[in-house]
């Protein structure tokens, strides 16, 4: 639509209105809780760390966002807030501040040159490869054994089902060092399985890559089993019954109907399992101190060289962890769209 008497170079009124609507949509949910739970903890953290330039930037961004929100939410601005919710938000902001302060300290007070130097260190690279690789193997084994178990738990009702589900959740509550000792008595050189494997097949699990995988698998398996079970529960069994009524077997219905519908939950469970495996240290240090994972290397350097020397490595690992966290959030968003396509 051409606007009469519009000057050259000026956008049509409809385009300007659309731009304003987009800005309104992005800022219409800004409220006192945004400032209390997001802006205030970050501002306090940067001030405490004496990063005043960043703090000023946060104040400027908050001021601009507040102005935009005020321009497009005059009615909402006049709406009163529940005083109890505001108090709860202030109390909750202390918890958020407690979480982000050490993270901000590592990210913003560690020289990037030291982080890059650590990233180029051969021992760090080897430990990182071992960690990521063993976590990937543990995740693959979780998929191989955990998905069938999750499907059975989702589809069948049987005596002892609660016991089976409780056993799956046990690794979550068992202290990690205890898990490592328990695994050592099974897979160690003199263990129930470790001794015959070493004697007859010359296979050693303790103090090996296999021991790392075993420890990671033990502590991370519940995530994949539970998320796959929840994903299968969200699929109507009648869809499988339709496939079976058309001649498909149970396995064919599972592969062709159920798995494609539950892939988001399986992906979310796999990423959660992989992330949990990467972060494991306690059980690995007991059953397989060698070869060193990145967490074992960090612990050893801290004991020998102190926290100042170890800080760049910790910052590097934090960056890796944040990357994994972004991946987790993305897969979680995908999983939500499975239940809410809109």
**Chain segment 28-41, per-residue pLDDT in tens:** 556 788 888 888 99
Residues 2-26, mean pLDDT to the nearest whole number:
50
Cα separation of 165 and 233, whole Å?
Answer: 14
For residue 330, what pLDDT band results from cuts at 50, 70 and 90? confident
Domain ranges of the chain: 14-109, 118-339
119 pLDDT exceeds 70? yes
**Chain segment 274-307, per-residue pLDDT in tens:** 999 999 999 999 999 999 999 999 999 999 999 8
Neighbouring residues of 118: CB distance < 8 A, sequence distance ≥ 6: 124, 312, 313, 316
The tokens describing 210, both together, are 């296999």
Q: What pLDDT, on a 0 to 100 scale, did the predictor assign at position 77?
A: 46
Any idea what the Cα angle at residue 157 is, between residues 147 and 171, rounded to 5°?
Answer: 50
183 pLDDT exceeds 70? yes
Percent of the chain with pLDDT over 90: 65
Mean pLDDT estimate for the chain: 86
**Share of the chain residues as helix, strand and coil, in percent rounded to the nearest 5:** 80, 0, 20
110 pLDDT exceeds 90? yes
Residues 321-331, mean pLDDT to the nearest whole number:
82
For residue 76, what pLDDT band results from cuts at 50, 70 and 90? very low
Q: What pLDDT, on a 0 to 100 scale, did the predictor assign at position 16?
A: 53
The tokens describing 34, both together, are 């945004």
Residues 48-54, mean pLDDT to the nearest whole number:
91
Residues 151-161, mean pLDDT to the nearest whole number:
95
More confident residue, 26 or 189: 189
Q: For domain 118-339, give its CATH number from 3.30.2230.10, 1.20.1440.230, 3.40.50.1110, 1.10.3720.10.
A: 1.10.3720.10
């Amino acid at each position: 639509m051409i606007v009469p008497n519009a000057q050259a170079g000026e956008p049509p009124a409809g385009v300007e209105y659309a731009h304003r609507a987009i800005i309104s949509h992005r800022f219409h949910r800004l409220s006192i809780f945004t400032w209390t739970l997001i802006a205030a903890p970050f501002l306090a953290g940067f001030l405490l760390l004496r990063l005043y330039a960043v703090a000023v930037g946060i104040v400027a961004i908050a001021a601009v966002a507040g102005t935009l929100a005020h321009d497009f939410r005059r009615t909402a601005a006049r709406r009163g807030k529940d005083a109890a919710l505001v108090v709860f938000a202030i109390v909750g902001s202390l918890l958020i501040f407690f979480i982000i302060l050490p993270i901000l300290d590592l990210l913003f007070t560690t020289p990037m040159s030291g982080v890059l130097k650590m990233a180029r260190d051969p021992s760090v690279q080897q430990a990182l490869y071992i960690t990521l690789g063993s976590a990937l193997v543990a995740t693959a084994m979780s998929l191989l054994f955990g998905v069938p178990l999750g499907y059975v738990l989702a589809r069948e009702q049987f005596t002892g089902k609660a016991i089976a589900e409780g056993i799956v959740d046990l690794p979550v509550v068992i202290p990690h060092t205890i898990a490592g000792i328990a695994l050592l008595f099974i897979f160690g050189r003199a263990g129930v399985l470790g001794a015959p494997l070493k004697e007859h097949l010359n296979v050693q699990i303790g103090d090996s890559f296999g021991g790392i995988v075993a420890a990671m698998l033990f502590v991370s398996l519940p995530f994949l089993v539970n998320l796959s079970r929840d994903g299968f529960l969200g699929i109507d069994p009648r869809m499988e019954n339709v496939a079976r009524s058309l001649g498909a077997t149970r396995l064919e219905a599972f592969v062709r109907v159920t798995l494609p519908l539950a892939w988001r939950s399986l992906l979310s469970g796999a990423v959660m399992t992989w992330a949990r495996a990467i972060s494991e240290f306690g059980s690995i240090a007991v059953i397989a101190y060698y070869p060193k994972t990145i967490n074992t290397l960090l612990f050893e350097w801290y004991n020998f060289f102190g926290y100042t020397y170890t800080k760049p490595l910790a910052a590097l690992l934090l960056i890796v962890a944040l990357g994994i966290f972004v991946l987790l959030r993305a897969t979680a968003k995908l999983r939500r769209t499975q239940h809410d396509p809109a």
